[in-house]
Amino acid sequence: MGNSGAQPDRRFAVAFSFPGEHRSYVEKVHAALCKIISAEKVFYDKCYEGELARPDLDVYLQSIYHDQSELIVIFLSQHYKEKEWCGLEGRAIRDVIKQRERDVMPFRFDNTQIDGFFSIDGCIDANATTPDRAAVLINQRLQSNPGQPLPPLIACADNTARGNPASDSDLPTILRELSHKLHELQTLLEDLADSRLGPNENLLNKSGKAIDEMRSCYEPRQFRLPKGCCELLDAAWRSAKDAFSGYDDYHFPPSRDPSGMQRCRDATKQYKALYAKIQDSFRGLCH
């Protein structure tokens, strides 16, 4: 069954397939992902319990994975292999792989051999990936899918910003890009603030790059955003820079500054509070 003509507009951008033993992890990934893209574009079974209470659930679930989802994120392990419902979902997912119409993104908790997946397949190590980082990686995969638009964080109607300076039709794109940069930066800052990780020059470099990218994404568009929103973004950028400097001062100079990690943790905490306010501000622009 190949494709013919234009791609249909599928209901979900992402669908999760996983065994119940990994629900705690997947639930956190779902929560983090819904801070980046619209929750209505993510299929997570707990959010659709009423819809899934039906006699033909096996066929209905296979339709969601096979026909209604652009990217299927599958969490593989021994538990996945053993579960009957995972097997039903897996049949639909294997056919998606066969057709090569849409992407499947596997995460692994162990090396159990799963039908349809092989050692040459690229996988994300779930044990070494925080849920927030997993959400960032899933969003990156969505952006890399050719021909597939990135689903918005919030449902904005074009040209309906109700008198805000950012009333032009590309407002959703501006907010979407900024939100992605802010969330990715928050994940990196949280890693910097985790004193258990110790000095990590690669993490420091990635954080510095993310801070610069957030600024370069924001500065050219600031004239389209209300003053209050710009002030929050400026404050968040300064907090990120403070966290970066504190980490750098603590770990890397010859004369280490003992207060550096505390400054890093305090600035990261401040950034997270500002990030929440920015998200509220973004939503306010679209209602």
Q: How many CB atoms lie within 10 A of CB 228?
A: 11
What tokens does 194 get? 């985790």
Eight-state DSSP code of residue 72: E
Dihedrals φ, ψ of 103, to 5°? -95, 150
Axis crossing angle, helix 23-33 with helix 131-144, rounded to the nearest 10? 60
pTM above 0.85, yes or no: no
Axis crossing angle, helix 171-193 with helix 260-285, rounded to the nearest 10? 160
How confident is the prediction along the chain (287 residues), in pLDDT tens digits per residue?
344 444 557 889 999 999 989 999 999 999 988 887 888 899 999 999 999 999 988 889 888 988 888 898 999 999 988 888 888 787 888 888 777 655 889 899 988 888 778 776 788 889 988 888 888 888 878 876 654 544 444 333 333 333 333 344 456 677 778 888 888 898 889 888 886 767 788 888 888 888 888 887 777 666 667 778 888 888 898 899 888 888 888 877 655 677 888 889 999 999 999 988 888 888 777 65
- CATH number attached to the domain at 12-144: 3.40.50.10140
Query: Could you tell me if 210 and 185 are in contact, meaning their C-beta atoms sit under 8 angstroms apart?
Result: yes
User: Using CA atoms, how far apart are residues 247 and 270, in angstroms rounded to an integer?
Assistant: 15
- Residue for token digits 């999760």? 16
Q: Kindly tell me the burial class for residue 171, based on how many C-beta atoms sit within 10 Å of its own C-beta (0-12, 13-18, 19 or more).
A: buried
Quote the pLDDT of residue 231: 84
Q: In what order do the strands lie in the sheet with 124-125?
A: 42-43, 12-17, 69-76, 103-108, 124-125
Domain ranges of the chain: 12-144, 171-285
Single out the residue of 188, 178, 119 nearest to residue 153, CA to CA.
Answer: 178
Q: Looking at the domain 171-285, which fold is it?
A: Four Helix Bundle (Hemerythrin (Met), subunit A) (1.20.120)
User: Using CA atoms, how far apart are residues 80 and 247, in angstroms rounded to an integer?
Assistant: 40
Quote the pLDDT of residue 8: 58
